[in-house]
């Protein structure tokens, strides 16, 4: 497996480069950006539950079993059961981990965690969440402690956690993006949408969108295409301007007002600025670009007025110096506006509530992760 593929698939490891970004002032022309949860370990995707609580997937801080090879080829990462689901009361304050003991891999300092990556609620209030892996699913055979990773889980009303789909096994058996450049077997389930009976899961490592159902099992809804990027200066042995195959790295999926799925992409190395798209996927049809010109998308959400909210983990290339993230509103007429510019650092998850957006901030840090509230005038 090529190093470019590994880096393209591993969102948490990529965002580690941004941890050092200095936080900006938490205000924007009168918009107060307020912290509603803190002390989180690598917080990622979020969703409001039927009880009004905001549920946050925490990828965890790894553990003390430091035998997992680092995806960057240097040193080892550490496994533990520090992944969690946290409920945040955004109205009255307070937070509580309602599920603990989920698998997690992280750097020795707990940063750049891989583990619980997103959560979504179905119409009956049942919750589903993904647990990532970020590598060849064969790693689970080599390191049996990671057997619970690269899977989709159901969270029952009584708090019971049940695996319902082995997405890593599907990738190993099918490798839907085979034939594209650097397309070795890789899996990193990163986002789930439970708005339909068939669940939709985007695999950032497999570069695909999958459907999961109890009756039909796992099937492919879409495979996203590689593209080429001119090599930036400074890559050893690669002349500047050389076309580099670049992975799409889909990171987020949400059902739109029209019933189609919308998928945001991070893009892989060298993480070109402005090359990330929002794809529209109608089941049974090839994916189409809905909106373009974004940089390293980590999450999406639709407002009640049809506006699309796009979360970027950085506004510059992740191969360069750290830059702030961004939350961008795309109005139904296509007009774009950045909300609370300069206030986000490595944001990874997004959920919309009444008159506010909620963002997982410092999403690649252990203990320093937080959820912030950004007021909205138009939601």
Which domain covers residue 110, as residue numbers?
3-20+46-221+245-296
**Which one, of 312, 323, 317, lies nearest residue 350 by Cα?**
312
Sheet holding 349-353, edge to edge: 34-41, 366-375, 356-361, 349-353
Quote the pLDDT of residue 12: 42
Task: Provide the pLDDT for residue 24.
Answer: 39
Is the residue at 336 inside a domain?
no
The token pair at 340 is 């609370």
User: In whole angstroms, what is the distance from residue 237 CA to residue 110 CA?
Assistant: 33
Q: In what order do the strands lie in the sheet with 116-121?
A: 116-121, 127-131, 151-155, 161-166
Measured in degrees and rounded to the nearest 5, phi and psi for residue 78 equal -120, 135
* Within-domain flag for 61: yes
Is 285 inside any structural domain? Answer: yes
pLDDT in tens, 76-115: 999 999 999 999 999 999 999 999 999 999 999 999 999 9
Angle at 117 between CA 85 and CA 247, to 5 degrees: 175
pLDDT at 124 over 90: no
Which residues make Cβ contacts (< 8 Å) with residue 217, sequence separation at least 6? 165
With a CB cutoff of 8 Å and minimum separation 6, the contacts of 272 are: 229, 246, 317
Q: Taking residues 18-29, what's their average pLDDT? A: 39
**Pair of tokens at residue 200:** 């939709």
The neighbouring-strand residues paired with 297 are 312
3-state secondary structure at position 16: helix
| Residue 174 DSSP one-character state | H
**Whole-structure pTM over 0.75, yes or no?**
yes
Q: Is the distance from CB of 18 to CB of 318 less than 8 angstroms?
A: yes
User: Averaged over 146-158, what is the pLDDT?
Assistant: 94
352 alpha-carbon distance from chain centroid: 16
The edge-to-edge listing of strands for the beta sheet with 250-255 is 250-255, 261-265, 276-281, 288-294
> What is the arithmetic mean of pLDDT over 259-268?
97
The tokens describing 7, both together, are: 């880096």
The pLDDT score that the predictor gives to residue 18 is 40
Average pLDDT estimate for 284-291: 95
* Residue at 122 is within a domain: yes
Nearest to 300 by CA among 339, 251, 369, 365: 251
CB 46 within 8 A of CB 57: yes
Q: Is residue 309 part of a domain?
A: no
Q: How far apart are CA 151 and CA 167, in angstroms?
A: 5
The residue among 1 and 261 whose pLDDT is bigger is 261
Residue 26 — pLDDT band, cuts 50, 70, 90?
very low
Q: In what order do the strands lie in the sheet with 336-339?
A: 297-302, 308-312, 326-330, 336-339
Half-sphere exposure of 221 (CA within 13 A, CB side): 27
What is the domain-level CATH number for residue 167?
2.120.10
- pLDDT the model gives residue 31: 60
Q: To the nearest whole number, what is the mean pLDDT of the chain?
A: 90
Q: Of the given ranges (146-150, 235-239, 294-298), which has the lowest mean pLDDT?
A: 235-239
- DSSP secondary structure string for all residues of 245-266: EE---EEEEEE-TTS-EEEEE-
For 275, residues 6+ apart whose C-beta sits below 8 A from its C-beta are: 227, 229, 246, 267, 295
Q: Is 231 part of a structural domain of the chain? A: no
pLDDT tier, 20 (very low <50, low <70, confident <90, very high otherwise): very low
pLDDT digits (tens, 9 = 90+) for 180-204: 886 689 999 999 999 999 999 999 9
Assigned token pair, 242: 């050389």
Residue 175, Cβ density class (10 Å: 0-12 exposed, 13-18 middle, ≥19 buried): middle
Q: Specify if 317 maps to a domain.
A: no
Range 336-361 average pLDDT: 96
Cβ neighbours, 10 Å, residue 308: 23
pLDDT digits (tens, 9 = 90+) for 199-222: 999 999 999 999 999 888 999 999
Q: What is the pLDDT of residues 317-343, one digit of tens each?
A: 988 889 999 999 999 999 999 999 999
Longest Cα pair distance anywhere in the chain, in angstroms? Answer: 57
- Number of residues that this document lists for the chain: 379
Q: By percentage, how much of the chain surpasses pLDDT 90?
A: 82
Domain count, the chain: 1
Whether 131 maps to a domain, the answer reads yes
């Amino acid at each position: 497996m090529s190093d470019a593929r590994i880096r393209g698939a591993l969102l948490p490891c990529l965002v580690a480069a941004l941890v050092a970004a200095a936080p900006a002032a938490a205000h924007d022309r009168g918009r107060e950006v307020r912290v509603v949860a803190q002390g989180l370990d690598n917080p990622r995707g979020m969703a409001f539950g039927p009880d009004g609580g905001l549920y946050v997937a925490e990828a965890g801080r790894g553990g003390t079993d430091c035998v997992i090879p680092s995806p960057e080829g240097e040193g080892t990462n550490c496994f533990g059961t520090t992944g969690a689901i946290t409920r945040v009361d955004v109205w009255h304050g307070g937070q509580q981990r309602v599920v603990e003991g989920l698998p997690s891999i992280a750097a020795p300092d707990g940063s750049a965690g891989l583990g619980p990556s997103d959560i979504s609620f179905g119409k009956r209030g049942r919750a589903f969440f993904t647990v990532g892996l970020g590598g060849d699913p064969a790693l689970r055979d080599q390191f049996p402690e990671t057997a619970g990773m690269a899977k989709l889980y159901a969270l029952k009303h009584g708090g019971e956690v049940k695996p319902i789909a082995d997405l890593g096994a599907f990738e190993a058996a099918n490798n839907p993006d085979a034939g594209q450049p650097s397309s070795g077997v890789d899996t990193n389930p990163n986002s789930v949408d439970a708005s339909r009976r068939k669940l939709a899961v985007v695999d950032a490592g497999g570069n695909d969108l999958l459907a999961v159902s109890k009756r039909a099992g796992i099937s492919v809804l879409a495979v996203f295409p590689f593209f080429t990027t001119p090599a930036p200066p400074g890559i050893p042995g690669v002349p500047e301007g050389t076309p580099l195959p670049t992975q799409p790295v889909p990171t987020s999926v949400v059902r739109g007002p029209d019933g189609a799925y919308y998928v945001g992409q991070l893009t892989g190395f060298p993480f070109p600025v402005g090359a990330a798209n929002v794809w529209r996927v109608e089941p049974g049809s090839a994916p189409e670009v809905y909106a373009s010109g974004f940089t390293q998308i980590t999450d999406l959400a639709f407002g009640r007025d049809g506006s699309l909210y796009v979360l970027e983990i950085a506004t510059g290339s992740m191969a360069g110096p750290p830059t702030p993230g961004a939350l961008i509103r795309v109005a139904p007429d296509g007009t774009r506006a950045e909300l609370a510019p300069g206030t986000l650092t490595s944001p990874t998850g997004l959920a919309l509530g009444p008159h506010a957006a909620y963002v997982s901030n410092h999403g690649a840090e252990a203990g320093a992760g937080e959820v912030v509230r950004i007021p909205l005038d138009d939601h």
